[in-house]
């Protein structure tokens, strides 16, 4: 059956898979990506959802997944962290929130000394303001 001078494939999953494989898995050139494969297929064939099926086929293509190009910018040169000279010069702090309410507390403030790796776990609430966190730090550290 023809549609706009293209072969119209309807309800034959095996034939669709063969067409995708024919246009995608070539030995002459590298494996094509989703858009190039779709463009080549739709020159001669058409069926509802051809783009989705090509995308699904390429997602499960082992060769494509192994040779996928990474479009991220290269990582900058790493700069090492400063080594602390004495304890409590450099600290790390973080909150564990949305915990079960126990004795009126539902959050834990974790303060860690970077040199000795000693950590303090301070119970608090999610509604603690800057002044409250400062007071917790002053009283406990």
Report pLDDT for 70. Answer: 66
Q: What is the pTM of this model?
A: 0.46
Span 41-92, pLDDT tens digits: 888 888 889 999 989 988 888 777 777 666 777 778 888 888 888 988 889 9
Report pLDDT for 25. Answer: 79
Report pLDDT for 101. Answer: 92
Map tokens 């050139």 to a residue.
Answer: 29
**Strand 45-46, strand 6-8: pairing:** parallel
Report pLDDT for 82. Answer: 82
Report pLDDT for 52. Answer: 92
Report pLDDT for 1. Answer: 64
- Judged by DSSP in three states, 120 sits in strand
Report yes or no: 120 and 141 within 8 Å, Cβ to Cβ. yes
Q: Where are the domains of the chain?
A: 2-66, 91-140
The gap between the terminal CA atoms of the chain, to the nearest Å, is 79
**CA dist., res. 32 & res. 36, Å (int):** 6
Report pLDDT for 27. Answer: 60
Percent of the chain with pLDDT over 90: 24
Report pLDDT for 81. Answer: 83
């Amino acid at each position: 059956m023809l549609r706009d001078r293209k072969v119209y494939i309807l309800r034959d999953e095996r034939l669709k898979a063969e067409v995708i494989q024919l246009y995608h898995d070539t030995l002459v050139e590298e494996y094509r990506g989703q858009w190039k494969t779709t463009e080549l297929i739709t020159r001669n064939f058409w069926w509802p959802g051809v783009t989705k099926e090509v995308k699904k086929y390429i997602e499960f293509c082992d060769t494509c997944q192994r040779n996928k190009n990474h479009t991220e910018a290269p990582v900058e040169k790493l700069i090492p962290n400063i080594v602390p000279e004495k304890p409590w010069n450099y600290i790390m702090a973080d909150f564990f929130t949305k915990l079960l309410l126990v004795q009126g507390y539902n959050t834990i403030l974790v303060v860690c000394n970077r040199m000795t790796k000693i950590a303090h776990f301070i119970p608090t609430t999610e509604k603690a303001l800057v002044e409250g966190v400062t007071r917790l730090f002053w009283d406990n550290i």
